[in-house]
Amino acid sequence: MTFGDIFKSSFLDNVTSVTIFDMVLALALAFGLGVFIFLVYKKTFKGVMYSSSFGVTLIALTMISTLVILAVTSNIVLSLGMVGALSIVRFRTAIKEPLDIAFLFWSIAVGIVLAAGMIPLAMFGSVVIGVALIVCVNKKSHDNPYIVVIHCDNQGSENKISRALKDCTQKCVIKSKTVSSGSIELHYEVRLKSDDTSFINALSAAPGVSNAVLVSYNGDYMG
């Protein structure tokens, strides 16, 4: 038996062919669902810097996953080689937002399910996941957190500021305090009683206060 006869064996010739119609249909649906995932990502994005390239990556991942699974299911030799090739792939890009991981897995899962022929599952599952993400991520909080940054001169000014913040806010918790020569920097986490932010004007005009800053944040704080 020669080396060529091994590759002509009936075991390797058992190939499930993929028709042109199947390929076009799968890739077209992958593109459509990839665009849907991209739109949901754009609608639910809550980060600081929006990356349009990540949205395009979601579309590409959906189509690439579909292409890979179509190849794997059609040829057993190619499937073995694909497993070896993908095992050496390493992603070095840091994921800044935890929710981005869900979108990456969503894109890959949709591509796999589409290539497996379970089109209703891919479409229905995508709609359900998309609606769930839009509802949960865009849910408004009744007490949005804020950070108040105060620069004052001495301990007396700090005590007055602390009392004033507790009186005009719903909740006031000090997060950090930095003391240097002739200056004190205070970071407070506050919950406002209303949308009125005029108390910051009063704080900045208080004796001993050099400046006051009010910043909205998403609840993640390093201090």
Host H or E run for residue 216: strand 209-216
Are 131 and 162 within one domain? no
Are 133 and 151 within one domain? no
Kindly state whether residue 222 falls inside one of the protein's structural domains: no
- Give the Cα separation of 149 and 178 in Å (integer): 11
Mean pLDDT of 87-114: 78
- Give the Cα separation of 47 and 45 in Å (integer): 6
Kindly state whether residue 89 falls inside one of the protein's structural domains: yes
Could you give the C-alpha distances from 127 to 87, 188, 211, in angstroms and in order?
A: 31, 41, 48
Kindly state whether residue 49 falls inside one of the protein's structural domains: yes
Strongest mean pLDDT among 15-19, 59-63, 83-87: 59-63
- Give the Cα separation of 215 and 192 in Å (integer): 12
Are 130 and 179 within one domain? no
Are 56 and 108 within one domain? yes
Range of the domain at 59: 3-137
- Find the CATH number of the domain harbouring 175: 3.30.70.260
Kindly state whether residue 223 falls inside one of the protein's structural domains: no
Are 75 and 158 within one domain? no
Are 173 and 211 within one domain? yes
Are 133 and 149 within one domain? no
Are 12 and 119 within one domain? yes
Kindly state whether residue 66 falls inside one of the protein's structural domains: yes
Find the range with the poorest average confidence among 69-73, 105-109, 142-146. 142-146
Are 90 and 126 within one domain? yes
Please identify, among 137, 169, 202, the residue that sits at the C-terminal boundary of a domain: 137
Number of independent structural domains in the chain: 2
Are 177 and 122 within one domain? no
- Give the Cα separation of 120 and 136 in Å (integer): 24
Using one digit for the tens of pLDDT, what is the confidence trace for 181-213?
878 888 888 888 777 788 888 888 888 888 888
Are 67 and 124 within one domain? yes
Using one digit for the tens of pLDDT, what is the confidence trace for 134-183?
888 876 555 678 888 888 888 888 888 888 888 888 888 888 888 888 78
Tokens of 124: 């229905």
Please identify, among 88, 112, 137, the residue that sits at the C-terminal boundary of a domain: 137
Kindly state whether residue 149 falls inside one of the protein's structural domains: yes
Q: Look up the pTM and report it.
A: 0.61
Give the model's pLDDT for residue 166: 85
